[in-house]
Amino acid sequence: MREAKNVFIGFGKAAKTLAFKLAKAGESVVMIEGSDQMYGGTCINIACIPSKFLYTLSTAPVVGTQARNYKQAVLSKRGLIGSLRMKNLHKIADLPAVTVLTGWAHFDDDHTVTVSYANGSSEQVHGERIFINTGAKAIMPAIPGLADSKFTVTSTEMLDQARLPKQLVIIGGGYIGLEFATTYQQFGAQVTILDRKTQFMARDEREVAQAVHDQFDQAGIKVIQDAQVLQVTDAGTQAQISATVAGTPQMFTADTILVATGRAANIANLGLEKTTIQTNDYGIVVDDHLRTDATNVWAMGDVRGGAQFTFISLDDYRIVYDQLMGQGKRSLQEQATVPHTVFLNPPLSTIGLNEEQATAQGINYRVAKLPAAAMPKAHILGNSAGYLKALVGDDDQFLGATLFCVEAHEVINILSLAMHQHVPYQVLRDQIFAHPTMSEALNDLLELLG
Ligand SMILES: Cc1cc2nc3c(=O)[nH]c(=O)nc-3n(C[C@H](O)[C@H](O)[C@H](O)COP(=O)(O)OP(=O)(O)OC[C@H]3O[C@@H](n4cnc5c(N)ncnc54)[C@H](O)[C@@H]3O)c2cc1C
Ligand SMILES: NC(=O)c1ccc[n+]([C@@H]2O[C@H](COP(=O)([O-])OP(=O)(O)OC[C@H]3O[C@@H](n4cnc5c(N)ncnc54)[C@H](O)[C@@H]3O)[C@@H](O)[C@H]2O)c1
């Protein structure tokens, strides 16, 4: 039986970062990844990197009469992803302390896993410690005809489909739904979002949801709330989607249906029932230090049923590394306030509380709001839509911010740093920023607070 001090199941963000550090420290590592197309995990192969690559190309200004070339963008994406995948593999596999096994793992007991290879063979691996980082996968709702339709794709297939849809129907108006609507509309597809909730962007403040809705209206993206999809039927070159919208029957047609109805932790087929590891409806149960109920097993990233973001998986690595090699003080508590970005055009970034939440919690706040159009950089970048908004408490500390403007995804990191380091707003108000940038909007925005 193969033995290692550290056995990783899944080559995700947390696993690859922790494996590298432990191997560099001279500890033996076995990294088990199911697919040779997934070295480096979901983010680089089928999620953040390819989706933001296509988003960025779709957002670039059209020069003269030259349309944005979707097929070319997908081909370039394949090149980029292929080289990142190999870079990720070699960064780990080339270390003398590491063995990478390409096969699917399942537990036999708390210390032992069996790896099944594509050629039908298998082997057992014994780990003093085992780290589960198997990620999540798209949920396919049980709608008659949906899974079997030749027009149905998940984000994974969509990002690699070289044909631009003419009529794209997206089921689900969450992160993936909103981002793919933006990207594919910009490449030239007609996009309709069908979401079952009655409210658009239900998790967000109404003010910003309305601003995004207005921007979608302008772009020609149709957003339909309170939509219950009942059935999908293939009819020649198109699918017919029957649904009710606010209780009234409606038909939609599409040549591509993107299912974006959430992602569920990859815990099936892991053999967890043979271990003392516990699961719940969201994934593997862990404590604040990411320990499972088996004392030698940790779970990190999407599989532990928390927020599904690459930066969370990366932070999970920090928590576990601190336990193994540091003081063990780091925990999930530090992840309470993190920045989020939905890559729309302009992007929407948020952190902490919005006005509605502060009001609901009875927290006193002062608010500053600045139109993006006030910033020269927004005009240079050709998109002056949106606004920046920040909330501060009686103690002059930031409570939260909503940035719906170009470069929001960069500027939000400054506010995140300020919140975590308890920097009073006056510091950013008077900070010297490079010019012309969107960061300098923080000077003008916070000046409004006096
Ligand atoms: C389209 C899309 C866009 C996204 N965009 C963003 C974004 O912009 N920003 C952001 O922060 N997050 C984004 N996310 C979320 C982000 O991709 C995930 O939260 C993150 O990749 C999860 O990483 P992880 O470390 O949990 O594991 P993953 O990177 O998912 O790795 C899990 C690995 O385990 C392997 N595996 C699974 N089961 C087994 C097994 N039994 N044996 C062996 N190997 C196994 C899988 O093949 C996979 O390689 C996006 C997600 C999607 C789908
Ligand atoms: N920029 C980013 O950070 C980014 C980008 C993409 C994905 N992600 C991550 O990936 C996760 C998965 O994304 P997602 O968009 O699939 O999930 P999501 O949870 O963000 O949104 C799912 C949406 O689908 C809707 N829905 C569910 N079932 C439905 C049905 N049967 N009919 C119609 N609507 C239905 C829900 O109302 C919800 O609005 C996100 O939660 C996020 O953590 C992050």
> Which pLDDT score is estimated for 26?
96
| CA pair distance 122, 179, nearest whole angstrom | 40
> Which pLDDT score is estimated for 213?
98
**Span 204-215, average pLDDT:** 98
> Which pLDDT score is estimated for 62?
78
CB-defined site of ligand 1, < 6 Å: 9-14, 32-35, 38, 41-43, 47-48, 51-52, 104-105, 133-135, 155, 176, 266, 270, 301-303, 308-311, 313
Nearest ligand to residue 317 Cα:
1
This prediction has a pTM of 0.98
Closest residue (by CA) to atom 49 of ligand 1?
41
CA separation, residue 177 to residues 167, 223, 263 (Å): 15, 10, 12
> Which pLDDT score is estimated for 273?
98
Which residues have CB under 8 Å from 269's CB, separation 6+?
Answer: 104, 106
Domains of the chain: 2-137+264-335 (3.50.50.60), 152-261 (3.50.50.60), 340-447 (3.30.390.30)
> Which pLDDT score is estimated for 306?
97
Q: Which atom of ligand 2 is nearest to the CA of 138?
A: 16
Closest residue (by CA) to atom 19 of ligand 2?
262
Convert the pLDDT of each residue in 266-279 to its tens digit.
Answer: 999 999 999 999 99
pLDDT > 90: what percent of the chain?
98
Which residues have CB under 8 Å from 119's CB, separation 6+?
Answer: none
Convert the pLDDT of each residue in 337-386 to its tens digit.
Answer: 999 999 999 999 999 999 999 999 999 999 999 999 999 999 999 999 99
Of 90, 420, 422, 435, the active-site residue reads 435
Q: Using only the alpha carbons of the chain, give its radius of gyration.
A: 23
Nearest ligand to residue 42 Cα:
1
65 pLDDT more than 80: no
Closest residue (by CA) to atom 17 of ligand 1?
43
Among 175, 226, 259, 350, the mutation site with the greatest number of ligand 2 atoms within 8 A of its Cβ is 175
> Which pLDDT score is estimated for 86?
98
| CA pair distance 210, 392, nearest whole angstrom | 23
CA 288 centroid distance within chain: 21
> Which pLDDT score is estimated for 200?
98
Using the mean position of ligand 1's atoms as its centre, give its distance from the Cα of residue 78 in Å.
18
Is 435 one of the annotated active-site residues of the chain? Answer: yes
293 pLDDT more than 80: yes
Closest residue (by CA) to atom 31 of ligand 2?
141
**Span 400-411, average pLDDT:** 98
**Nearest in space to 303 (alpha carbons), one of 96, 66, 135:** 135
> Which pLDDT score is estimated for 289?
98
Tokens encoding 327: 């003081």
Convert the pLDDT of each residue in 95-139 to its tens digit.
Answer: 999 999 999 999 999 999 999 999 999 999 999 999 999 999 999
> Which pLDDT score is estimated for 234?
98
Using the mean position of ligand 2's atoms as its centre, give its distance from the Cα of residue 175 in Å.
5
Using the mean position of ligand 1's atoms as its centre, give its distance from the Cα of residue 359 in Å.
35
Convert the pLDDT of each residue in 232-246 to its tens digit.
Answer: 999 999 999 999 999
Q: What angle do CA 259, 265, 271 make, to 5 degrees?
A: 130
Among 20, 35, 37, 43, the mutation site with the greatest number of ligand 1 atoms within 8 A of its Cβ is 43
Closest residue (by CA) to atom 48 of ligand 1?
41
Q: Which atom of ligand 2 is nearest to the CA of 261?
A: 24
Which residues have CB under 8 Å from 155's CB, separation 6+?
Answer: 46, 47, 51, 138, 176, 180, 258, 260
Q: Which atom of ligand 2 is nearest to the CA of 343?
A: 1
Using the mean position of ligand 2's atoms as its centre, give its distance from the Cα of residue 283 in Å.
17
Average model confidence (pLDDT) for the chain?
97
The alpha-helical segments, DSSP class H, found in 285-338 are: 310-325
Among 169, 170, 250, 263, the mutation site with the greatest number of ligand 2 atoms within 8 A of its Cβ is 263
Q: Which atom of ligand 2 is nearest to the CA of 194?
A: 33
> Which pLDDT score is estimated for 90?
98
